[in-house]
Amino acid sequence: MVGSSDVISGSDGTQRCWWCAGDALYQLYHDEEWGMPVDEDRRLFEKMCLEGFQSGLSWLTILRRREHFRQAFAQFDFEQVARYDEAKVEQLVQDVSIIRHRGKINATINNAARAIEMVDQHGSLASFFWQFEPKRTSRRRRRDQVPAATDESTRMSRELKKRGWKFVGPTTCYALMQAMGIVNDHLHQCHAWPTIEAARQSFARP
């Protein structure tokens, strides 16, 4: 039986996953973005980088600053970001509108260069990331059934690290898989579950 902490009912009577409670921006992200399948390389790169910045923080903290991150990192055009030099790093370290973590900033620049290499090798970032889609999909009924990482995200993390990517642990990789529709981890009682599932079924895998 699903508990009251698993799905929430908004003022409109719509049931949603527990984690978007209490914030309108979070609820909008849940309703319109989270879990929708994505094959745009720039969006995949953005999500991986922002998940790296999120480590140790809440995703809502990052979401509230996402537009500032986009401005700071050239809309996550990885060809541009790969050319950032030390002077740019120093500028970003002083930018109060983003998370001023030197290691994560340097990791983003490093990962931009690795993303260029991956496109050369695989044709697109999407073709790399989507190869880790699980063969079976699950209908999560409770929040305690939603994992922090899976065998697939662990393999993705391992492959990315072999290619020189930074801040790409299994949990970070699984967060990308959830957000970009590689899995559908909306709770089955959530209003978004069937919408996401239909989008995934019609989605042309790269």
* Residues with catalytic roles: 29, 51, 59
Two tokens at 21? 């409670």
Helix axes 102-122, 86-93, angle to 10 degrees: 130
Identify residue 202 by its one-letter amino acid code. Answer: S
Two tokens at 156? 């993705």
